Structure 1
Amino acid sequence: MSRSSHATLIEARSLTKRYPGVIALNAVDFDLRAGEVHVLFGENGAGKSTLISMIAGASAPSEGSLAVRGEPVTFNGVADARAHGISAVFQEFSLIPTMTVAENIFLGDEPRRGPFTDHRAMVARARELFASLEFQIDPMRLVSRLSRAEQQMVEIAKAVHSDLSVLILDEPTASLTDREVDHLFQVVERMTARGVGVIYISHRIQEFSRIADRITVLRDGARIGTVTMDATSEEELIEMMVGRAIDEIYPTIARDPGPPVLSVSGLHASGVHGVDFDVRPGEVLGVAGLVGSGKSRCFRALMGLEAVKAGRVRLRDADVTGAPTRRMMEAGVYYLTPDRKNEGLQLVFTARDNLVQGILPGIESRGGQLPWSRIRETADKVAERVDLPESYRGRLAAQLSGGNQQKTLFGRGLGRDYDVYIFDEPTVGVDMGARASIYKLIKSLAESGKAVIVISSDLPEVMNIAHRLLVFARGRITAELPREDISESTVLAHFFEEQEELA
């Protein structure tokens, strides 16, 4: 995009971070220029978080040097980095939910009137700050009552209210709608226009062409290279990140479909208006659509997670319309939620115990005793199948990376035999290496005769692994495309087809 003024804000040389038995970052060079967006790209564990933690003052390097505007610095903490104009918005927010928005923004830097906090001035300054960012948020609201997108806006406001020159955004769009993403990008553009440098971390490679000037790729703690966005393709970036070509990421899935195992006719639910489709064993049915199109609500209603208002759902020869979730699972349908932290995993359990939870419903006790040795053996076999390393199986799910959490969630569905697998946003927040493992699982399920449904906002994902593709818009199916008719232009046209008809 060539927005950079070329003045170097941050320069890291041979930054290295060692932990007992592990080199998390190995002699990495990195620089950030004024007015640019510099993307850090890599798999989970590549060293991205380690690098930004040192730039943000959250940790100290074992070796190497860091300079700000050409002056060598050694940060003694996050506050020290902020004093040099560097602020970070991490995936896990640092807001205090019982305090107001204004109180969170000025925490530790409250305007004073004599010995007392000047609450009126604090709220007024917060309103001015939000107006400059074009955020529609009441400074008097409690943070606990904000949506995640609104909380992220508060984090950004908190970061920029001081004399900011470097902003670090860690996976900022992971839980935002398309409209919220557009707003965030507009804010970033206004900030870079003022000379702020932005370090941007994301797995969403499709975003880079909209926002990135340069991209640094990390792999296994080492810097693979730095490239300009306008001279690099997505395929080249992926190959740099994972060390193999994109056609090795998406497997070819053989198709041998049988008669429909799941049939839906005239389904009406909240945001779903008369949907008809069927799913066959031995195939991958892709489901695509914009946020709010009804694609997820349709299948949540089918699974008993939302109310069915009208229509019929048949599983083999049985009518399961409106059946509760437990009955659907007992009948052979598994649903993988897109919200692994709130709906999927028990974060205070270990990864192995989460896998066990998926096994227990299919185990019969003998004399009131469960065969725990067999259950644990089965859990370890499932862990091997989803490529979950043995060293991670005893860790709490909350301590795992996003990719390993997602592998654990997949594993819960492999602990017993299901006929239909519904994967809703199966790779959200997951790097390409973990994606490749997940796609192999989908391939093995379909080729073993299971019916697999993949609901995804990631268009390249569903285009590359689906045998058939349903396109949703405004709560209806606007197209059903066989493999040979699936193309980006065709799918995108159907994304908006219903909107244009109803306009």
Structure 2
Amino acid sequence: MTALLRVESLTKQFPGVLALDNVSLDVDAGEVHVLLGENGAGKSTLIKMLAGLYLPSSGRILLGGEEMSFAAPRDARAAGISTVFQELSLVPTLTVAENLFLGRLPSARGIVARRRLRDMARAALDRIGADIPLGAKVSSLPRSAQQLVEIAKGLLGEARLLILDEPTASLGDRESERLLELVRTLSGQGLGIIYITHRMREISQIGHRVTVLRDGRLIDTVPADTGEDRLVELMTGRALEDLYPSLPRTPGAELLTLHDVTGPELHGISLSVRAGEIVGVAGLLGSGKSSVGRTCFGLDPLHSGRIEVQGKPLKQLAPAAAITRGIVYYPSDRRHQGLALCRPLFANITLGSLRHAKASTFGLVNRRRERSVATSYVERLSIRPGDIGRRTELFSGGNQQKAVLARGLIHGTQVHIFDEPTVGIDVSAKADVYRVMSELAAAGKAVLLISSDLPEVLGMSDRVYVLHEGHVVSHLTGDEITESAVLSTFFGEASTTTPGGPSA
């Protein structure tokens, strides 16, 4: 049987860099073909050639047995290849309907035919089973709904192959499951799908085959039910026996305590984090878990209740005051909230940390000292490439996340709040982030881990609080921390374990 897509010996050479080296793979109609690899493995280069953004240096792309040459993205779309990148291409100020048909709005005598536009937009959303208000501005929609709009847009016309780049990276568990169900439905309709993910558990849920890339080369194509340990070994070239490090640590005094805290999305939250422990906060999207970290750091207002740091009330609720009192917060959206992407790496590492890095005196920056400090953290966190003058936007997601970590570590604070710290990064970078968290706890720091990645919470936490609709519905410790125990309370059913507050 002729494959829907066949890639033969595809190679892409940039000046001084061989980004993709002689890669071959095929995708059948109705197949979900997972593309797996660390950041820098060549995945993005491959899909950008399929999407018409890059021209191959050599090799062939065949679609339905016919050789293709894409000079621009419109050529790929015309051939039936639609790509939904991780960074969405929607216009926030336009409506859902306008975004779906941007550049091809139906018109009559130069005026947009609004009724026809609504009918076309509704048909596009109905195809994927999405009930989204057509007149809503995209900026008002949650990320999960924006993702569906982008997919519906990609399926307009005669799409035969859909490429999804990290589609669930910014979604919670419930939203991710809905998207995975959509992928299964589209696959069942005969659409070929290339699916890129760093969430290992998704592979066996929707995949048929997995192609692993490493350093721009094809390593192997294996069945989707291949074990996680084997997939990690194929990706990294080494066995990763313990993704979650377990350094000896002994919990001490409470360093962060929330007493009956109420604020945006929070209703009477009480919890604590002690020195020398990692405390997880789990919950579905909209549960309020991210608001816990944002409120502690002064990004969200505190309506009532009390936050204590090392036993003393945090009176000024602002980031500068939080840092002064010993709290550092690593935001969930590193690209928009954590980094100045147009600035060089060293500037992002020392941003807001020059005084703590001893690189500023009387308002004057010691550039040599600044670069020296940045270089030391690049080496400590294995940021690659190690060019501190390179623009931060040119680094992979994992290395960008390490830059955010470096800036927080410079402060040497006692309380570290991680909000979705491994979103969109590969398994090797995840291991590095987990190592940093474990080292902080082992050194007597308090670590609060807020995450939608349940295996991450289970693997790293000494204690776990589960939130639902802004309430703590469960507090688990020790052997109580299991997948079934956490999942059983995700939807608000109280656990047999008493929800824990300070000193719990």
Matched, 1:356 2:350: yes
Give 2:339's match in structure 1, choosing from 345, 350, 372: 345
The answer to which of 168-177 and 106-115 deviates more is 106-115
Give the SS at the match of 1:335.
strand
The answer to which of 188-197 and 465-474 deviates more is 465-474
Deviation of residue 423 (structure 1)? Answer: 0.8
Matched, 1:428 2:416: no
Give 2:78's match in structure 1, choosing from 66, 74, 83: 83
Give the SS at the match of 1:389.
coil
Alignment correspondent of 2:330: 336
Give 1:128's match in structure 2, choosing from 119, 123, 127: 123
| Superimposed CA distance per residue, residues 93-118 of structure 1 (whole angstroms, 9 cap, x where no aligned partner) | 33345555444434454556688875
Contact 1:214 1:226 in 2 (8 A): yes
Deviation of residue 294 (structure 1)? Answer: 2.5
| Structure with the larger helix share | 1
Give 1:277's match in structure 2, choosing from 271, 282, 293: 271
Structure 1 62/187 Cα, relative in aligned 2: closer, same or farther at 3 Å?
same
The answer to which of 162-171 and 179-188 deviates more is 179-188
* Aligned mates of 1:68, 1:136 — CA distance in 2: 32
Contact 1:302 1:322 in 2 (8 A): no
1:451 aligned partner, one-letter code: A
Deviation of residue 165 (structure 1)? Answer: 0.8
Alignment correspondent of 2:294: 300
Matched, 1:10 2:5: yes
* Aligned mates of 2:415, 2:71 — CA distance in 1: 53
Alignment correspondent of 2:500: none
Deviation of residue 288 (structure 1)? Answer: 2.0
Alignment correspondent of 1:264: 258
Contact 2:32 2:187 in 1 (8 A): yes
Alignment correspondent of 2:206: 211
| Superimposed CA distance per residue, residues 444-469 of structure 1 (whole angstroms, 9 cap, x where no aligned partner) | 22222212121111111122222222
* Aligned mates of 2:101, 2:361 — CA distance in 1: 61
| Superimposed CA distance per residue, residues 184-239 of structure 1 (whole angstroms, 9 cap, x where no aligned partner) | 2333233222211111111112222322121111111112211222x322232222
- After the TM superposition, which residues 34-433 of structure 1 pair with which residues of structure 2 at under 5 Å, given as runs? 34-97=29-92, 99-109=94-104, 111=106, 120-143=115-138, 145-229=140-224, 231-320=225-314, 323-362=317-356, 363=358, 366=361, 369-389=364-384, 391-433=386-428
1:281 aligned partner, one-letter code: A
Give the SS at the match of 1:152.
helix
* Aligned mates of 1:383, 1:161 — CA distance in 2: 44
Structure 1 468/247 Cα, relative in aligned 2: closer, same or farther at 3 Å?
farther
* Aligned mates of 2:102, 2:266 — CA distance in 1: 44
1:324 aligned partner, one-letter code: A
Give the SS at the match of 2:474.
strand
* Aligned mates of 1:61, 1:129 — CA distance in 2: 32
Contact 2:124 2:153 in 1 (8 A): no
Contact 2:359 2:367 in 1 (8 A): no
Deviation of residue 268 (structure 1)? Answer: 2.6
Deviation of residue 49 (structure 1)? Answer: 0.9
Alignment correspondent of 1:474: 469
Contact 2:172 2:284 in 1 (8 A): no
Deviation of residue 79 (structure 1)? Answer: 1.9
* Aligned mates of 2:260, 2:188 — CA distance in 1: 51
Contact 2:2 2:65 in 1 (8 A): no
Structure 1 112/364 Cα, relative in aligned 2: closer, same or farther at 3 Å?
closer
Contact 2:170 2:423 in 1 (8 A): no
Alignment correspondent of 1:442: 437
Structure 1: 4+ residue segments shifted above 6 A: 114-117
The answer to which of 322-331 and 19-28 deviates more is 322-331
* Aligned mates of 2:88, 2:257 — CA distance in 1: 42
Structure 1 142/300 Cα, relative in aligned 2: closer, same or farther at 3 Å?
closer
1:465 aligned partner, one-letter code: M
Contact 1:424 1:454 in 2 (8 A): yes
Structure 1 67/488 Cα, relative in aligned 2: closer, same or farther at 3 Å?
same
Contact 1:358 1:415 in 2 (8 A): no
Give the SS at the match of 1:495.
coil
Give the SS at the match of 2:4.
strand
2:177 aligned partner, one-letter code: D
Contact 1:7 1:34 in 2 (8 A): no
Give the SS at the match of 1:413.
helix
Q: List runs of 5+ in structure 1 lacking aligned partners.
A: 1-5
| Superimposed CA distance per residue, residues 139-196 of structure 1 (whole angstroms, 9 cap, x where no aligned partner) | 4555455544333333222221211111111111222344433332333233222211
Structure 1 258/412 Cα, relative in aligned 2: closer, same or farther at 3 Å?
same
1:291 aligned partner, one-letter code: L
2:21 aligned partner, one-letter code: N
Contact 2:3 2:27 in 1 (8 A): yes
Q: List runs of 5+ in structure 2 lacking aligned partners.
A: 497-504
Give the SS at the match of 1:293.
coil
Structure 1 321/206 Cα, relative in aligned 2: closer, same or farther at 3 Å?
farther
1:90 aligned partner, one-letter code: F
Deviation of residue 47 (structure 1)? Answer: 0.8
1:302 aligned partner, one-letter code: C
Alignment correspondent of 1:3: none
| Superimposed CA distance per residue, residues 394-421 of structure 1 (whole angstroms, 9 cap, x where no aligned partner) | 2222332211111111111012210111
Contact 1:308 1:321 in 2 (8 A): no
Structure 1 97/370 Cα, relative in aligned 2: closer, same or farther at 3 Å?
closer
Q: CA RMSD in A?
A: 2.6
* Aligned mates of 1:89, 1:263 — CA distance in 2: 42
Deviation of residue 367 (structure 1)? Answer: 5.5
Contact 2:341 2:392 in 1 (8 A): yes
The answer to which of 356-365 and 22-31 deviates more is 356-365
Structure 1 111/302 Cα, relative in aligned 2: closer, same or farther at 3 Å?
closer
* Aligned mates of 1:284, 1:255 — CA distance in 2: 10
Deviation of residue 78 (structure 1)? Answer: 1.8
Q: Percent identity at matched positions? A: 44
Give the SS at the match of 1:375.
helix
The answer to which of 400-409 and 237-246 deviates more is 237-246
- TM-score norm. by structure 2 comes to 0.90
Give the SS at the match of 1:255.
coil
